[in-house]
Structure 1
Amino acid sequence: MKNKSNGRVRPSWIVASACAAGLAGCGGGGGGSDAGGLPMLPVLPAAAPASAPAPAPAPAPEPNRDPMPGSEPLPSLDAPQAGSTAAAGNDSEGIYASLLDITLIGADGSIASKDHIGTMWGSLTVTGLDWSFNPDTAYYFIDASPVTGSGTFTPKKVMNGTYSWDQRAPSAFGPQKYAVENALAVSQDSVTGKWANPDSNYGVGLSIEVDATGAFTGKTAGVQVGDCSISGVLAQAQPGTSKNMYGFALNAVDAGIDGKNACKLSTNRPYRGPAAIVLVPAGAYEGNGYFRRVFFLVKTDNGATLTASLQKQP
């Protein structure tokens, strides 16, 4: 199943117009003489009044550049929050992203990556600033295919390299930029509460409620996933730190009624994978702030994958 976004939401715009009409006048004239025979001055036609000017258009309202309720400012990689991945992590771990790709790399070198075609799972060997895929790494499209490849890190800036899967010619891996969300300091409490992706335009609707321990319950809807009751755990990958990386475990149970909208997720194999808090614009202007979402990328042991981006709910 494809996820809805790797992170930014674009705003939309609306345009309106108005019009006005003017007025016209009339006139007349005549001639003759009075009893004294004195000629009378001719009555000249009255000048037509000028058309009434169109009213000036109402000034457009000033755009709202203030923070939206519930939003927060974007963190800075130049001054990362204390304890965040950017402040306390190594030179390779974290969230990396490009226009169509997102990659999550754990402190232990584990890697989960999503592009516009498929997903990649496995681990890296990192030596200095150089990295290479370990033999356990596979690319999942229709089937799982072994992956080879290598590249370099520019510390806390970019990840770059090449890779090959299913014995294909090497392709570029990246460049993927070190995401600004790595500068965000988080805790277990940061994911407590309700999170949802109610938009089912892509056939995947999902909502969960997470308690203080990270345990959650929820449900799914949509043509790609059907009606499922779900439960699991959303917990920090490194408890006690402030790094923005979590582990996501999900179990599904069929909640379809009378065979309708049957759950299409795996109900006998759990889903496992990484998650992180990402930020999406709250409006058209940076001053509007950013909303938090939980992005996760998980799979079963036989390669069924699930990914979504869940926005924090009131």
Structure 2
Amino acid sequence: MNTKIQTPFLLSLIATVALTACGGGGGDSSTASKSTTPAPTSTPASTPSPTPVVDGESLPDLAHPQTGSTADAGNGLEGIWSTSGTSHTYATIDPTNNLQYVDGIATIATTEFFGSIVPTSSTWVLNTGVKYSGGFFYTASSGSGAFAAKQTFSGSYVANGSTVNLAWNYDAANALAVTQSSVTGTWTETNTSLTVDNAGAVSGTMSNCPVSGTLVLTTPLSNKNLYTFTVTVSGTASSCSAPSGTTFNGQAAIVFLPISGSSLYKRTIFYAAKTADNSRYAIGQVAKP
């Protein structure tokens, strides 16, 4: 029988932010000179609306990955896996086969998973795993499946007496070549603001909890889009549910959100981390303001 433990959730659930194009044009401030001859009357031509200025970029191309990116230099299993639509998933697998994922419906996260797998050339079996759902966490077992390198990942495992099925696609963000400075700056979502310096030091708040730590490339000096995320609650706040000294460790990656009304995308950082004793987890998706 699996042990069921009440889990106090720390962070706001995964935020798939609805991004909209914005911008506008300024009017002509000059004044037209008056004519002494009356001009014939006519129906004024309609003024076209200014073209919105969209702050975004095109998706990286898996068919032509950027040099050094995970899709270019990875082993075919490591990287970011996902599904899209109203029901969606972000999963990450690091080079040592640690796997974690978050399922969501619209803006609500429904399942969080942290574990590790043992792969062969095209199959995998679950080594360890913990699934969070409905305020509890459960030990995962009997996991196995198959993958096609840089294409698909599928399989299932058992948690709390139920079989959980997985079916993911290799994400376009794997074709993005990054550096440590790719995550430099301030990234925010509701009740969360994280500032990352050029060396990967993190400071700020997560769900109103003051935190400090690091966000550094999982493979140092590489251009692979996967980061190791470690933060510790470094103080107290009345609206923070985690005690000072609580440490979260997990993975993070740059992923892309579509911009409404445009063919362009916005960069975000998706992260998922948990405490060593599994009592708390932290997930979020932050973007630059």
1:295 to 245, 270, 278: 270
Residue pairs, 1:1-314, within 5 angstroms:
1-5=11-15, 9=18, 11=20, 58=46, 61=49, 64=52, 68-69=54-55, 71-99=56-84, 100-116=88-104, 117-134=110-127, 136-141=128-133, 142-168=136-162, 170-174=163-167, 176-197=168-189, 199=190, 205-220=191-206, 225=207, 227-256=208-237, 261-286=238-263, 289-303=264-278, 304-313=280-289
Q: What letter matches 2:183 in structure 1?
A: V
Aligned 8 A contact 2:181 2:198 in 1: yes
The aligned length equals 248
CA–CA distance in structure 1, aligned partners of residues 138 and 244 of structure 2:
21
CA RMSD of aligned residues (A): 2.4
Q: Displacement of 1:307 after TM fit? A: 0.7
Aligned 8 A contact 1:8 1:279 in 2: no
Q: Displacement of 1:262 after TM fit? A: 3.3
Is the partner of 2:178 in helix, strand or coil?
coil
CA–CA distance in structure 1, aligned partners of residues 121 and 184 of structure 2:
36
User: Per-residue displacement from partner, 1:66-96 (whole Å, max 9, x unpaired)?
Assistant: 6x24x32211000000000000001211101
Aligned 8 A contact 1:147 1:166 in 2: no
User: Per-residue displacement from partner, 1:41-88 (whole Å, max 9, x unpaired)?
Assistant: xxxxxxxxxxxxxx8994763764x6x24x322110000000000000
CA–CA distance in structure 2, aligned partners of residues 12 and 210 of structure 1:
26
Query: Judging changes above 3 Å, is the alpha-carbon distance between structure 1 residues 265 and 89 closer, same or farther for their aligned structure 2 residues?
Result: same
Query: Judging changes above 3 Å, is the alpha-carbon distance between structure 1 residues 274 and 265 closer, same or farther for their aligned structure 2 residues?
Result: same
CA–CA distance in structure 2, aligned partners of residues 83 and 148 of structure 1:
35
Q: Displacement of 1:283 after TM fit? A: 4.1
Q: Which residue of 2 aligns with 1:46?
A: none
Structure 2 unmatched runs, 5+: 1-10, 23-42, 105-109
Is the partner of 2:91 in helix, strand or coil?
strand
CA–CA distance in structure 2, aligned partners of residues 57 and 105 of structure 1:
57
CA–CA distance in structure 2, aligned partners of residues 299 and 266 of structure 1:
14
Q: What letter matches 1:157 in structure 2?
A: Q
User: Per-residue displacement from partner, 1:269-289 (whole Å, max 9, x unpaired)?
Assistant: 200000001112344121xx3
Query: Judging changes above 3 Å, is the alpha-carbon distance between structure 1 residues 151 and 57 closer, same or farther for their aligned structure 2 residues?
Result: farther
Q: Between Structure 1 and Structure 2, which shows a larger proportion of strand residues?
A: 2
Is the partner of 1:101 in helix, strand or coil?
strand
CA–CA distance in structure 1, aligned partners of residues 148 and 265 of structure 2:
27
Aligned 8 A contact 2:21 2:262 in 1: no
Query: Judging changes above 3 Å, is the alpha-carbon distance between structure 1 residues 8 and 179 closer, same or farther for their aligned structure 2 residues?
Result: farther
CA–CA distance in structure 2, aligned partners of residues 262 and 78 of structure 1:
46
Structure 1 unmatched runs, 5+: 14-54, 200-204
Aligned 8 A contact 1:91 1:153 in 2: no
Q: Which residue of 1 aligns with 2:28?
A: none
Q: What letter matches 1:118 in structure 2?
A: T
CA–CA distance in structure 2, aligned partners of residues 11 and 210 of structure 1:
25
Q: Displacement of 1:266 after TM fit? A: 4.1
Query: Judging changes above 3 Å, is the alpha-carbon distance between structure 1 residues 56 and 132 closer, same or farther for their aligned structure 2 residues?
Result: farther
Query: Judging changes above 3 Å, is the alpha-carbon distance between structure 1 residues 255 and 171 closer, same or farther for their aligned structure 2 residues?
Result: closer
CA–CA distance in structure 2, aligned partners of residues 8 and 79 of structure 1:
28
What is the TM-score normalised by the length of structure 1? 0.72
CA–CA distance in structure 2, aligned partners of residues 272 and 213 of structure 1:
18
State which structure, 1 or 2, has the greater radius of gyration over its C-alpha atoms: 1
Moved more, 145-154 or 229-238: 145-154
Is the partner of 2:234 in helix, strand or coil?
strand
Q: Which residue of 1 aligns with 2:29?
A: none
CA–CA distance in structure 1, aligned partners of residues 179 and 20 of structure 2:
30
User: Per-residue displacement from partner, 1:143-188 (whole Å, max 9, x unpaired)?
Assistant: 33233221111221111112211232x23212x1111000000010
Q: Which residue of 2 aligns with 1:31?
A: none
